[in-house]
Structure 1
Amino acid sequence: MRLRNKPWAQDEIDKEPSIVIAHPEEYKGKWKELFGYNNPIHIEVGTGKGQFLTRMGQANPNINYIGIEKYTSVIHSAMENVRNEAVDNVKLLNKDVLNLGDYFQDGEIDRVYINFTDPWPKARHEKRRLTHEGFLNLYESVLKPNGEIHFKTDNQALFEYSLHSFSKYGLILNKVSLDLHNSDMVGNIMTEYEEKFSSKGMRIYRCEAVYR
């Protein structure tokens, strides 16, 4: 993904402290207090421009959503999405997922979404893939027992790798789809990339993985 430089993005983000949480470590173990509702918490790692999370928030007002995105120029677009749609159950973190344990307490999260992540196809970059065992261990540290990962991608090689990674780690695979948009799944909410790829007739892969 080629990023458009937005030198003014940080100033705009600073004007929306109720949407983009500047110091998430202060809310570790206290996210439900910040939201004001004792609802389940779902996070999206690599939230991109925020279309998916914004629409999920609209569709599921009884769930609290947190999107994590390290690129300031990208999180700015997500912030605009959340602000323009006035979705009060979505918060954003302009942080790196590698520091997830600094922001969430053990067992604080119910579900992790991974959507259209960089496939990092070269073998030497395997550890950067968000479905690598190192990240699976990181998610497990903040997820509740039987917590879930919901994963979507257009990349067949990454999907195959991820299924193997999930299985090897001991996760239970559910609802594995090799062609999501020609399946019987209802209620699917698309990301920006998903709309783009599916409009070109590209196959979308999806699965759910549950920690034992």
Structure 2
Amino acid sequence: MRMRSKPWAKPELEACPFFLRHPEQQKGRWHEWFPEEGAIHLELGCGKGYFIAGLAPLHPELHYIGIDLKDVILAPAKRVIEAAFDGKPIHNVALTGHDIERLREIMGEADQVERIYINFCNPWPKPRHWKRRLTYPTRLEDYRMLLAPQGEIWFKTDDGPLYRDTLRYFEEAGYEVYWTTEDLHADPCSDEITVMTEHERMFSEQGIRIKAAKARVLPRKE
């Protein structure tokens, strides 16, 4: 879908203290970017920022990095996050623009991440495009490099085929799926995974059930 131009987006992001224009310069040093020590939680495809906005103010002990591709997406995310903090200083959020397919360009093994969130990524339904999915086994191998021991991936989607394929991808890539649901908002689970993104709210209002899974990385077999 073509994004409508937002002339205000670039200058507003450039003035934002928690936006990084050149994330490749931070590779291997993401923990140093935050003023205090804490585990990093990474959202791949943060969209308009509602998920991070729902978590970061409640968890000042954690550091949240949101990655998406374009300023026209990240600038609204910046505003949503600022509104969630209600005028309070924002020290535990970083937003940056980059192609997630090239995640290795901006993050390395030294940037250990406790948890990765993948919310409502493109399902790429045609088989010839499956390798582009953010949960495809080759991508999961890239994420393994970043995840701390016992690090986790939390995944949400409205797409049934992607959900079922992703459960298989996790197993193929050496992850343990320890929790699943095919109807998230009818499930008694009440932790952070229930924080809604903008797409999630739209799908839920249409009566579409949200599928979700949690997986942890397993040690490589010798």
Aligned equivalent of 1:12: 12
Identify which of 108, 130, 143 aligns with 2:134: 130
Aligned equivalent of 2:42: 43
Q: Secondary structure at the match of 1:150?
A: strand
Output the amino acid matched with 1:89. Answer: N
Aligned equivalent of 2:168: 164
CA contact (8 A) 2:35 2:91 kept: no
Deviation at 1:2, TM superposition (A): 4.3
Aligned equivalent of 1:121: 125
Q: Secondary structure at the match of 2:64?
A: strand
- Superposition RMSD in Å: 1.5
CA contact (8 A) 1:101 1:141 kept: no
Provide the C-alpha distance between the structure 2 equivalents of 1:41 and 1:206, rounded to a whole number of angstroms: 21
Tell me the matched-pair count. 211
Identify which of 199, 202, 213 aligns with 1:207: 213
Aligned equivalent of 1:26: 25
Task: Identify the range of structure 1 (82-91 vs 92-101) with the bigger mean alpha-carbon deviation.
Answer: 82-91
Deviations 1:103-147 (A, max 9, x none): 223151111100011111111111110001121111111111221
Output the amino acid matched with 1:98. Answer: E
Output the amino acid matched with 1:12. Answer: E
Structure 1 unaligned regions, length at least 5: none
Deviations 1:44-97 (A, max 9, x none): 001100010111101211110000001221111111122333443111011111
Calculate the TM-score normalised by the size of structure 2: 0.90
Aligned equivalent of 1:152: 156
CA contact (8 A) 1:167 1:173 kept: yes
Provide the C-alpha distance between the structure 2 equivalents of 1:125 and 1:13, rounded to a whole number of angstroms: 32
Structure 2 unaligned regions, length at least 5: none
Q: Secondary structure at the match of 1:88?
A: coil
Calculate the TM-score normalised by the size of structure 1: 0.94
Aligned equivalent of 1:66: 65
Q: Percent identity?
A: 37
Task: Identify the range of structure 1 (69-78 vs 2-11) with the bigger mean alpha-carbon deviation.
Answer: 2-11
Q: Secondary structure at the match of 2:179?
A: strand
Deviation at 1:99, TM superposition (A): 2.5
Q: Secondary structure at the match of 2:20?
A: coil
Q: Secondary structure at the match of 2:19?
A: coil
Q: Secondary structure at the match of 1:105?
A: coil
Task: Identify the range of structure 1 (52-61 vs 38-47) with the bigger mean alpha-carbon deviation.
Answer: 52-61
Provide the C-alpha distance between the structure 2 equivalents of 1:38 and 1:104, rounded to a whole number of angstroms: 18
Aligned equivalent of 1:190: 196
Provide the C-alpha distance between the structure 2 equivalents of 1:97 and 1:155, rounded to a whole number of angstroms: 20
Provide the C-alpha distance between the structure 1 equivalents of 2:144 and 2:197, rounded to a whole number of angstroms: 24
